[in-house]
Structure 1
Amino acid sequence: MEVASFHPSIYNYTYGYGHGHLFPSPNYVHWTQTPHSHLYSADIPGVRKEEIKVEVEDSRYLIIRTEAVADRSFSRKFRLPERVDVERITAEYVDGVLTVKVPRRGFFIHPAHAHLPARAA
């Protein structure tokens, strides 16, 4: 499995913000974020590592798909958040779970950790 560039085609398109399950199906994709990266996890058991494709299209879309496996396939397309490093995207497939790590570029302050100065009266 490798992360590669991709030429446009027809795929399911989903854009999410925040974190949670993006698909309620058995092959949902869970998206979460850390101060350093965005993480996409897909539960796709019964697939060989060689059958999984993780691709980036136009430096704006992340595509996760499988080759047809036992008359079923999996394909999801996400718009990447702004300020990510597409050159350093990594993917790992362990025990039926695919995890794609999309590193952020630049500095990120999580809103829960932001401390704003008090306003003068």
Structure 2
Amino acid sequence: MDKEVLNYAVEKTHELMNAPSCSSEAKAAAQSWLDAIGTEKEAMETKRYIDELEADIMPIDSLIGFAESDAGIHVFGADTAKNIAIHAKEIKSNGAKYCDCPACAAVAAILDKKDILVK
């Protein structure tokens, strides 16, 4: 694997793991991948990690729908949910495909290198 891309992915993985919005599943997959780097399990764990990241990243339309739902209001509170929906619609109008929270931003950065990582 390209050393520069690997270092970049490791850096973004630490950002993901430190993000308050990182799911426990993504955090576990990230740690398993980090632990496997340089071992015979690296290729297998890289594939598992990428699969988890693809499952976890929040598409912008899903974020908008959740923020505007009763469940989103329950999770975030009415004012925060409203502000998240407004923000999400704004970034969508500027071309965003995914949520831009710290976890999703780190995931998007890693997935941008997916083809190199899974070689």
TM-score of the two chains, using structure 1 as the length reference: 0.27
Greater helix share, structure number: 2
Greater strand share, structure number: 1
TM-score of the two chains, using structure 2 as the length reference: 0.27
Q: Which has the higher contact order (CA 8 A, sep 6+)?
A: 2
